[in-house]
Amino acid sequence: MPDAISIYLIVLIFGLIIGSFLNVCIYRIPAGKSIMWPGSHCPSCQNNLRWYHNIPVLSYAVLRGCCSFCGKKISLRYPSVELLTGILFVLVFSRFGLTFASLVYSLFVALLIVITFIDLDLQIIPDVISLPGIVVGFLCSFLIPWLPWTDSLLGIILGGGSLFLVAAVYKMLTKIDGMGGGDIKLLAMIGAFIGWKAILPVIFISSMVGCLVGIPLMLLKGSGTRLAIPFGPFLALGAVIYLLYGKYLIQWYLQVSFG
Partnered with residue 73 across adjacent β-strands are 66
Q: How many CB atoms lie within 10 A of CB 62?
A: 12
Mean pLDDT (whole number) for 183-193: 96
Mean pLDDT (whole number) for 70-80: 91
* Calpha distance 24→120 (Å, rounded): 16
pLDDT tens string 97-142:
999 999 999 999 999 999 999 999 999 999 999 999 999 999 999 9
CB 129 within 8 A of CB 114: yes
Q: Would you put residue 179 in left (φ > 0), alpha (ψ -120 to 50) or beta? A: beta
* Calpha distance 146→110 (Å, rounded): 21
* Prediction pTM value: 0.91
Domains of the chain, residue spans:
1-98, 123-259
In this predicted structure, what is the pLDDT of residue 221? 67
* Calpha distance 82→36 (Å, rounded): 18
